[in-house]
Amino acid sequence: MAAPLGLDSMIKLSIVTLSYNTKDLTIMCLNSLASQYKDELERKEMEIIVVDNNSSDGSTSQISNLKSQISNLTLIQSKKNLGFAKGCNLGAKNAKGKYILFLNSDTQVLDKGFLSMVEFLNKNPKVAILGGRLQNNDGSVQPSCGKFYTLFNLFIMLLGLERFGLLRSSPSKIQKVDWVSGACMMVKSGVFEKLQGFDEELFMYVEDMEICYRAKKLGLAAYFYPDVRLTHKSLGSSNRTFAIINIYKGILRFYSKHKTYPEYLIAKTLLVAKADILILVGSLTLNKDLRERYKKALS
């Protein structure tokens, strides 16, 4: 079992989670945190910050009610849906911890592994970003870290070969990786400030890879940490069409920001080619959803 975060009153870990019309999922996530970290929250060694992105499902009132039951819980209400990157940045601005953990609201915490992650970062000053292991409800492992989207890797991804573990994985040992999932990403607060947070041009998706890429350019390392038990409901706060549209936007933003113009053009050509093929397949198979999904991605 991990040692306590500390005996002083300093907040060591700030957990930032976003809420957007996921009332039940968010409540379950918060209750799981409170169950595992009751003592740390009461001692103010940890804090939980929920940023609500203008939910319309009664999330804010339900979360507000939990403040009487969960110690050191803060709710920040946004007047509009800021998206993942801006919402996380808003939460981080209000965080007081030495480390910040960005945790999806569609997760449930099953152990005290975040304490071990904090200790690992304490003992390894060269590691700036640490990603936790995610699993499905049935206990199977989700690929929770990956390789940067070079043109070759982007081609592999567009062929649908990621599912075979060529780009994404969930290692069984602690190891250095290119990037880790933003569903469970712990960052040193000073590093996050130095990086100026997530890229707010990315509404949702690709922002986790992008911030790890910027960290690497500064000589900072990202590591994967498997010794944590955490379930994650994929697409808990979005849908497939929304995901594809924003993944397309995110990849183009990544290439326009970090790669040469010829590389950007090649990446865009690959994205358009896949969309055109699937629009044709959708038309031939009378799959209207597929056709419209990729038409929207191109627009």
Alpha helices in 9-131 (DSSP H): 23-36, 38-42, 59-66, 83-93, 113-123
- 6 part of a folded domain: no
The model's pTM is: 0.92
Do 113 and 160 belong together in one domain? Answer: yes
Q: Tell whether 191 and 220 lie within a shared domain.
A: yes
Cα gap 172→170, rounded to integer Å: 7
Band of the pLDDT at 5, cuts 50, 70, 90? very low
Domain range enclosing 255? 240-298
Asked if residue 5 is part of any domain, the answer here is: no
The predicted structure's pLDDT at residue 235: 55
Tell whether 273 and 193 lie within a shared domain: no
Same domain assignment for residues 168 and 286: no
Q: Are residues 188 and 284 in the same domain?
A: no
Same domain, 18 and 153: yes
At 211-248, the pLDDT tens digits run 999 999 999 999 999 999 999 987 544 588 999 999 99
Tokens matching residue 101: 């953990």
Q: Is 97 exposed, middle or buried (0-12, 13-18, 19+ CB in 10 A)?
A: buried
pLDDT digits (tens, 9 = 90+) for 30-65: 999 999 999 999 999 999 999 999 999 999 999 999
Domain identity same for 219 and 146: yes
